Copies of this chain bind each other. A is one copy, B any other.
Amino acid sequence: MLFENNRRWAFFIPNTFTALNMACGFAAILHGFNNEFYKACMFIVLGAIFDSVDGRIARLTKTQSSFGEQFDSMSDLVSFGVSPAIVYYFRFLSDTGRLGMVAAFFFMLCGALRLARFNANIDKVKSDYFQGLPIPGGATATISLILVSLNFPEIQHYRFLTLGYLFFYAVLMISNIPFPSFKNSEWVRNHRKQVLMIIFIILASLFIYEEIMIPSIISFYVLASLIYFLTHRKKFAGIFQWKEEPEQEGT
């Protein structure tokens, strides 16, 4: 009975981190509305940190649940779909009229489609590659341009750049372009010490120069993935081919 109760409590730990992720998304929205863009961006980064922790804790404590997975997607949508779209809108697009509204909504919509596709295929996909840019990547890309614009405010005047950038990352999320996942990578498993060193260097540089490092890292990841995909198209032919048709026909 006591053990049973402990298990019930353990179940709360990962979901608490998921709720903290959502709280960061909500805080980012409110800061975006108050034109406090640096804080808004940092809340989204903090949300991403909580998000990377919850799944690991659930696996470690063996408290994974379909409830937890669903709740995690909901938080991801708020923190990495709704919140970046709104913060980006207030930073760059609030005086572009309906075009800006549509662009911000398009980003949010693509984030939701990305999450829905991931959840619907969760049992089918076991790969070293994500199908399309993961939504935290899209969120990181949007806040990157916001962070850069804090030092270079003239970016705000380049409508084509700000609209095109948002559109580009929205489309990357719903694309079939493979982005490498390091979770199950063999190279990572065989080079634990080097990986730990790289993670430490990245974290340290993030802590010192976040306004340069966040944009650099996401740009490098996306560009390297795109170049690798374009030069190895044959290798990737059909890796995301599964039946995406309606499932319950006739029921």
- Residues of A participating in the B interface, judged by any CB pair closer than 8 Å: 7-8, 11, 19, 22-23, 26-27, 29-30, 33, 62-67, 69-71, 73-75, 77-78, 81-82, 85-86, 89, 101, 104-105, 108-109, 112-113, 115-117, 119-120, 244-251
Contact = CB atoms under 8 A, between A and B. Distances in A.
Q: How many copies does the complex hold?
A: 2
B112 A247 contact: no
A108 B21 CA distance: 13
Nearest to A70: B116
A245 B109 contact: no
Given A33-B33, A101-B30, A113 B248 contact: no
A138 to B, nearest CB: 14
Contact of A64 (B71, B117, B246): B246
Contacts of A104: 26
Given A64-B248, A251-B64, A74 B71 contact: no
4 nearest interchain CB pairs?
A: A70-B116, A71-B116, A74-B112, A67-B120
